Structure 1
């Protein structure tokens, strides 16, 4: 797999995050077919300036905004998420961790 195709897959995974929802860097990597490559997702985002890319929907695995608190990026990401109806408190989005695969979603603890 070339670096370009990896980048395109990551960007496609970010574009696929629905409005009003968020995903962690690792989740984006998983959806792009690149498990364990969360840092690559961060690098791609840092080097990309596509104006319509919903970069602000990507967070740390614990739901926190990766920018330093109070920074311009932190404020912009918080505002964009809130504009989509996402609840951001103290730089963090609380959300249910998605099941890693269909079997766990159907048969894991708390299912059904």
Structure 2
């Protein structure tokens, strides 16, 4: 179930928690949704710290604009991000999401506001 998020007070983590299993989004898509298109890096830094957030944040579902697993180095092991995606039936080849456009979840379209 999708939940509307207040763009002013909602956090990056609130958005990531809305991404359904088997889907991914990009750092830039989250930044655009929050009205900070030029701050995709800030979303990346937030995902780097997501492992300590409560409730849990599925940061493995956030990739770069080309579907590459650029954040993989911030997981407990270098392969954990890919392993978590594969458990959700997302195919990864050469550290890139296969059929990225089909798997892409756009918060602006899905959450509106």
Q: Shared fold by TM > 0.5?
A: yes
Note the residue ranges of structure 1 that are not aligned, 5 or more in a row. 103-112
Work out whether residues 16 and 57 of structure 2, in 8 Å CA contact, stay in contact via their aligned partners in 1. Answer: yes
Work out whether residues 67 and 74 of structure 1, in 8 Å CA contact, stay in contact via their aligned partners in 2. Answer: no
Partner of 2:17: 15
- How far off is 1:18 after superposition? 1.0
Partner of 1:78: 82
Higher relative contact order, chain-length normalized (CA < 8 Å, sep 6+): 2
- How far off is 1:36 after superposition? 2.0
Does the alignment pair 1:29 with 2:20?
A: no
Work out whether residues 17 and 57 of structure 2, in 8 Å CA contact, stay in contact via their aligned partners in 1. Answer: yes
Note the residue ranges of structure 2 that are not aligned, 5 or more in a row. 1-6
Work out whether residues 13 and 31 of structure 1, in 8 Å CA contact, stay in contact via their aligned partners in 2. Answer: no
| Distance in 1, Cα, partners of 2:96 & 2:12 | 23
| Distance in 1, Cα, partners of 2:23 & 2:32 | 17
**What's the RMSD between the two structures over aligned residues?**
3.0
Does the alignment pair 1:93 with 2:97?
A: yes
Say which is worse superposed, 32-41 or 76-85, in terms of deviation.
32-41
If you compute each CA radius of gyration, which structure gives the higher value, 1 or 2?
1
Partner of 2:44: 42
| Distance in 2, Cα, partners of 1:61 & 1:24 | 5
Work out whether residues 29 and 38 of structure 1, in 8 Å CA contact, stay in contact via their aligned partners in 2. Answer: yes
TM-score (norm. length: structure 1): 0.70
